[in-house]
């Protein structure tokens, strides 16, 4: 696996140099990763590389034509979302990508005028009339954020399709008195529905194992995305000031900023012969993926994850702005996905097409039996630390 990974990183460097022309010499030493990004989707003829299209075919049971069409439709939905939100105004109640329909669906309240609904449809989106506005649901979630949750409560998020705040609870703990008390208080905050899961979320850091992108102390984690000057990753992987070693054991840099819980993000500076490249490793499953921006994919869109333990897996975005209740404390504004992950994948890349989405935080389950994983959105990390995504 080491030789395979070296081959991929070498290819990534070559591709970067070819795209930069006369930008200057790059150190011929160990490789690394980089930072922040433009939020503009790619404008090439193909929505993604052949490798990513093949992964989409495998994960979703699509033909190559269907995978190409889906990624193109998701890019259209991503670009459309800000415009339909403005068109809906105060009646906006959320939106999501409908894979069956191949377009963005926008929820609006009954107070929306026929002209507003017509304007949204004219932009190419579907319309669904619901009871509660996004503003009301966001306010309810904020009130729930102020509650202290027991460990059997996995988290909570606004679900525009359900038009409610969805609270997840460990299935065999739902009848616990502390869980019931929490749910009573949550329901008092606003519209709430309850879903059960098999286990509570946990972070995906791991003890020292071979073949991993980076180590801090005895913890192994995964690089997220290159930024200019370093890379972003998960905050639970290391505290500010902690030194970082690369997959080959050489010194890379140190954590320059880190936040966990509350948030789960960090950034590491890169030096000592390492440099950054705008690439996500495909681990031989797909070709390495170039990063061209950080436009946020809507709920329902496909998303893939790269990590040092389980390598490359894909799924869909299930929810945004979810509060995840880890044993170490709650983490806010997370994105929930149907992608699996395992210990050591923490900090790794979530990407949709060629757009960076976020860094792996934690989840439940594994890549043998399935599960769900959350990521911290990358644009929040870039904004927090004033970083710039390294893009191709």
**Domain residue extents for the chain:** 1-17+27-81+190-392, 82-130, 134-189
Mean pLDDT computed over 101-118: 97
Catalytic site includes residue 236: yes
Q: How confident is the model at residue 273 (pLDDT cuts 50, 70, 90)?
A: confident
What percentage of the chain exceeds 90 in pLDDT?
Answer: 72
- CATH number, span 1-17+27-81+190-392: 2.40.10.10
Percentage with pLDDT > 70 across the chain: 85
Residue 10 has pLDDT above 60, yes or no: no
Which residues lie across from 257 on neighbouring strands? Answer: 267
Q: What is the pLDDT of residues 284-314, one digit of tens each?
A: 787 788 899 999 999 999 999 999 999 999 9
CB atoms within 10 A of CB 176: 16
Q: How confident is the model at residue 11 (pLDDT cuts 50, 70, 90)?
A: very low
* Closest residue by Cα to residue 130 from 156, 91, 104: 91
pLDDT, tens only, 46-85:
556 777 788 888 888 999 999 999 999 999 999 999 999 9
Q: Which of 8, 132, 157, 236 is catalytic?
A: 236
- 180-236 per-position pLDDT tens digit: 999 999 999 999 999 999 888 887 665 432 335 899 988 999 999 999 999 999 999
Provide the β-strand partners of residue 206: 220
0.85 surpassed by pTM: no
Residue partners of 195: CB distance under 8 A and separation at least 6 = 166, 167, 168, 169
What residue has token string 């005895």? 218
Give me the residue label for tokens 């809906």: 88
Instruction: Please determine, for residue 6, whether its predicted confidence score (pLDDT) is greater than 60.
Output: no
Of 26-30, 31-35, 264-268, the one with minimum mean pLDDT is: 26-30
Q: Which residues pair with 147 in a beta bridge?
A: none
Nearest to 74 by CA among 335, 302, 313, 283: 302
Residue 389 has pLDDT above 50, yes or no: yes
* Residue closest to 309 by CA, chosen among 348, 361, 276: 348
**Cis amide leading into 261 (omega within 30):** yes
SS3 92: strand
Catalytic status, residue 157: no
pLDDT surpassing 90 at residue 98: yes
pLDDT tens digits, 236-259:
999 999 999 988 888 999 999 999
Residue in 346, 349, 352, 361 annotated catalytic: 346
pLDDT, tens only, 315-334:
999 999 999 999 999 999 99
User: Average pLDDT in the 146-153 region?
Assistant: 93
Tell me the longest C-alpha to C-alpha distance in the chain.
66
DSSP conformation class of 384: H
Q: Give the Cβ contact number of residue 62 at 10 Å.
A: 18
Identify the active-site residue in 264, 288, 345, 354: 264
Mean pLDDT, the chain, integer: 85
In the residue annotation, 175 being an active-site residue is answered as no
Residue 126 has pLDDT above 50, yes or no: yes
Q: Can you spell out the DSSP letters for 194-220?
A: EEEESS--EE--EE--TT-SEEETTEE
Task: Provide the pLDDT for residue 55.
Answer: 82
Tell me what the mean pLDDT of segment 136-143 comes to: 97
């Amino acid at each position: 696996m080491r030789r395979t990974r070296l081959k991929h990183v070498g290819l990534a460097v070559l591709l970067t140099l070819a795209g930069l022309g006369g930008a200057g010499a790059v150190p011929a030493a160990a490789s690394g990763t980089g930072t922040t990004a433009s939020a503009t989707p790619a404008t090439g003829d193909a929505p993604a590389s052949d490798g990513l299209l093949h992964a989409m075919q495998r994960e979703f049971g699509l033909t190559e034509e269907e995978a190409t069409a889906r990624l193109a439709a998701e890019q259209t939905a991503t670009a459309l979302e800000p415009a339909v939100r403005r068109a809906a105004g105060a009646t906006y109640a959320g939106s999501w990508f409908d894979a069956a329909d191949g377009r963005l669906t926008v929820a609006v309240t009954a107070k929306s005028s026929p002209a507003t609904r017509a304007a949204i449809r004219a932009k190419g989106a579907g319309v669904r009339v619901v009871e509660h506005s996004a503003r009301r649901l966001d306010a309810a979630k904020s009130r729930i954020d102020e509650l202290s949750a027991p460990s059997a409560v996995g988290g909570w998020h606004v679900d525009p399709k359900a038009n409610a705040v969805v609270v997840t609870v460990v299935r065999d703990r739902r009848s616990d008195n502390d869980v019931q008390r929490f749910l009573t208080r949550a329901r008092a905050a606003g519209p709430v529905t309850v879903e059960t899961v098999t286990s509570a979320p946990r972070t995906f850091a791991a003890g020292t194992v071979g073949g991993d992108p980076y180590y801090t102390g005895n913890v192994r984690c995964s690089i997220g995305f290159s930024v200019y000057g370093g890379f972003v990753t998960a905050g639970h992987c290391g505290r500010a000031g902690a030194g970082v070693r690369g997959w080959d054991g050489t010194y890379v840099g140190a954590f320059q900023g880190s936040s966990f819980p509350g948030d789960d993000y960090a950034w590491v500076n890169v030096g000592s012969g390492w440099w950054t490249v705008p690439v996500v490793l495909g681990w031989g499953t797909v070709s390495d993926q170039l990063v061209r921006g950080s436009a946020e994919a809507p709920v329902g869109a496909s998303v893939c994850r790269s990590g040092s333990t389980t390598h490359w897996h894909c799924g869909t975005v299930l929810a945004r702005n979810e509060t995840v209740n880890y044993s170490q404390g709650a983490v806010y504004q997370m994105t929930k996905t149907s992608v699996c992950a395992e210990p050591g994948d923490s900090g790794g890349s979530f990407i949709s097409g060629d757009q960076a989405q976020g860094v792996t935080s934690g989840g439940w389950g594994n890549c043998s039996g399935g599960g769900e994983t959350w990521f911290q959105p990358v644009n929040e990390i870039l904004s927090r630390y004033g970083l710039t995504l390294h893009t191709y």
